[in-house]
Structures are given as structure tokens and as C-alpha cells.
Amino acid sequence: MAESATATTTTETEVRRKKKRHWLAWLLVFLVIGVLLLPLLHKPAPPQFGGPPMGGGASVNVEQVQQGPMDIFLDALGTVTPLQTVNVYSQVSGRVLSVNYREGQMVEKGQSLVEIDPQPTEAQLKQAQGSLTRDTATLEQDRINLKRYQDAYAQKAIPQQTVFDQEAAVRQAEGTVQNDEGLVQYYKVQLSYCHIVAPISGRIGLRLIDPGNTIFSGSSSTIATITQLNPITTVFSIAEDHMPAVQRQIAAQKSGLTVDLYDRSQANKLATGKLLTFDNQVDTSTGTVRLRAEFENKDRALFPNQFVNARLEVNRLENAKIISTAAVQYNGQQAFVYTVDKEDKVHLQNITVVNTEGAKSAIEGLNVGDLVVTSNFDRIQDGAQVSIAGAPHANAGKRPAR
């Protein structure tokens, strides 16, 4: 009996343990489901777009139509071009004794660049001078003999043929002396070529020869390249349709048209100069005309063959009606703006854009002082009520009416 009671007690204990484990499992399942459903129960409401702000209508920024001058420019891509670029060659053959410049330095006209061994040319010059001295003495002797023969012929002491022969000898000696003088002058010039100097002022390029090398006259290898930097020019092209306006401005302005240069990003102004001239024909492949402008370039901000953005001033609008370019919208080819009346209602108004210069545009079709919308165009339409940002509704009646 004792054994049977013990077995029954053990069975009941195991049943209670199984029920407890079953209950814990279900509790775990419910906790997992609760964790998964918690974000859904607390999901925020979606944002509301397009609803009117407090105060009535969409909030917009506005500005008034201003009146003032505006310059009209032609924009073009240009290339900085030096007025002079000189490649220096050797005109004599010889050994290089010294190179008297540093790479990239500024040199002045007449400054020594390279020294070539002058001894061979000096020897040739001395030989030519010796021949000149000898032949000059011979010419003097022939002239003395001619004078004596002429006196003897006057006294009938010698035949006339002797005088003619001596006159020919004098002319021959004179020709020999002239030839010697030419040789002396030639070798003097050759000697000067042994001292190579800068033909212009400018910046010299990288060094192309070293002391000790032998160079030869007539060689295609350059000794140095010098580029003039001040003044410097820029060549750019404009469409042929703009040439009549440019020519009219050139005829009207004696001081010349102003040209501004900007870097690639058009953010930094590099220099301001004057238009020099334009080409004598239109490039038929592009329909453009090339123009050249000159700049002082004292700070050397312009570098040869540098690409720049050129802006040529061709006209000036006086008393133009000016608004921000951001206010101008387009429907196909038609430009329009949204104006705001004193009741804070917007109206679509077609306009004509006369000129655009950066963030400002000169327009026709509005009055000075009119309010135009500059933001939130996707939230307004013709006749809609708006709320002007930064201006209380109570002050709306103080704005100028159309």
C-alpha cells in the first residue's frame, strides 16, 4: 500500500510540472506577439502635405519689382593667348659654356641666356681682319702706281694701255678689300651669336640644354622658349548674329568695350580688359566670329593657353524692371510670374524676359512695386489665397495694389 501511494504522488507532481511548462510556453508566445504588434499600435500619423498653414493659404515668399540699370553681356569660352611667344635657337655651332637663367623665371629683353665658346669664331675673325689689312695695303700701292702712270702718260713717257691696266688693277684691289670687309663684319655678327640674349621680356620655360653640351647652328632643337605675359590677350568666339550689336557698340564707345574674365566655375573674376579687334571673316563650320581682348595681367593671374570664361559687355539697360530669376516660371516658351494683390490672392501674369544676368532678370509686363512670388510654386494656383512669410495678414492692405 505504501508503494502504491508513493507512485500516485509522483504522478501528480509530474502532471503539475507539465501544466506549468505548458503555461510558460504560451506566455512566451504572447509576449513575442505583443512585442511585434507594439510598433503598429504606436505608428505616428502620416504627415499632412498641402494643408493651409495657420493664417490662411500656402506660405510664400514675395519681393517687389525694382527699377534700375542692368548690363547686357555676351558669354563665351576663351583661351589666353600671349602677344608674343619666341623660340630661341642657336645660330652658331659650339660648346655651351654656361646657362644663365633659371627655369620659369622672368627675363628682361637683352638679358644673357646662354654663352657659347667664342674661340673658333674669334680666330676666324682675326684671320679675316688680317686679310683685310693685307689687301688694303695692296690697294694703296696700286693707287700710288696708278697716279705715277697717269703723270708719266701725261708727259708721253708710257703708252696709254699701261694706264688702263693699272686702273683695272686698282678696281680689282678695291673689290678684294670690300670682300674682306664683308668677311670681317660677318664674323663679328657670328661672334655676337655666341652670346645668346633674350629677344623679348617674359617668362622663360623649362631648361632644354646644359653646360658642356655642343649645339649646332640650323638645328631644330630650341634652346629656350620665352612667353610675354604683360600685356596678354584672350581669344574667344561669339555667334555671328551678335556681331551687329558689337559693331554698333564699338562705333559708339571710343574707349572700347569691356571684357571680364572668369575661371571655369565662373565664381572668381580673374581680370578686366578691353576688346582689341575681331576677325575678318565668319567661321562657316561653327557660325562664329573670333574676337581678341587685351589685359594688363600685372598679377600674372592669366596663364598662356588657359581656358577662361569671357564676358563681353555689349549694352546697358537703363530703368529696367528687375526681379529675381527664381520668380520667373515657364509654360513651354511663355514666361510668367505669380503676383500677389492686397487681399493676399495670387494671380498668374504673363511676362517677357528681356535679359537675365545671374540671379536677376529684366522683364516687361509688370509695374514697379508689384509683389511677385519667389517660392512654393507647387502649392499655389491662379486665384488662390496665400500667406506671406514674415508679414502679418493685418498689414496686407499696406502693400501696393496692382
Are 314 and 330 contacting, i.e. CB atoms less than 8 angstroms apart?
no
Enclosing H/E stretch for 234: strand 232-239
Query: Which of 207, 224, 241 is the C-terminal boundary of a domain?
Result: 224
For residues 268 and 165, membership in a common domain is answered with no
**232 and 205 housed in the same domain:** no
Q: Are residues 219 and 289 in the same domain?
A: no
pTM > 0.75: yes or no: no
CA angle 112, 297, 84 (to 5 degrees): 50
pLDDT above 80 (res 367)? yes
Query: Are 219 and 108 members of one domain?
Result: yes
Cβ(115)–Cβ(191) below 8 Å: no
pLDDT grade, residue 399 (50/70/90)? low
Specify the higher pLDDT residue, 256 or 21. Answer: 256
Confirm whether 202 is domain-assigned: yes
pLDDT at 328 over 60: yes
Whether residue 181 is found in the same domain as residue 237? no
Within a domain: 46:
no
Q: Work out the mean pLDDT of the chain and round it to a whole number.
A: 85
Over residues 129-156, the mean pLDDT reads: 94
Domain that holds residue 194: 92-224
Q: Does residue 145 belong to any structural domain of this protein? A: yes
pLDDT, one tens digit per residue, over 229-288 is 999 999 999 999 989 888 888 888 767 789 999 998 888 999 999 999 999 999 999 999
Please classify residue 198 by burial: count the beta carbons closer than 10 Å to its beta carbon, then call 0-12 exposed, 13-18 middle and 19+ buried: buried
The pLDDT of residue 37: 65
Could you tell me if residue 43 is inside a domain?
no
Of the three residues 194, 224, 254, the one that is the final residue of a domain is: 224
Is 79 contained in some domain? yes
Residue 16 located in a structural domain: no
In 3D space, the residue among 62, 61, 68 whose CA is nearest the CA of residue 322 turns out to be 68
Residue 283 and residue 345 in one domain: no
Q: How far apart are CA 27 and CA 252, in angstroms?
A: 96
- Cβ–Cβ under 8 Å, residues 152 and 161: no
Give the per-residue pLDDT at 56.
57
Residue 168 lies in a domain: yes
Burial class (CB in 10 A: 0-12, 13-18, 19+), 383: exposed
For residue 362, give the CATH number of its domain.
2.40.420.20
Nearest Cα residue to 69 out of 267, 261, 357: 357
Shared-domain flag, residues 322 and 301? no
Percent of the chain whose predicted confidence (pLDDT) is above 90: 60
CATH of the domain at 264: 2.40.30.170
Cα separation, 369 vs 402, whole angstroms: 9
Alpha helices in 193-305 (DSSP H): 243-252
The confidence score (pLDDT) of residue 50 equals 38
* Least trusted range by pLDDT, from 202-211, 213-222, 234-243, 250-259: 250-259
How many domains does the chain fold into?
3
Domain boundary among 171, 202, 224: 224
In a domain, 17, yes or no: no
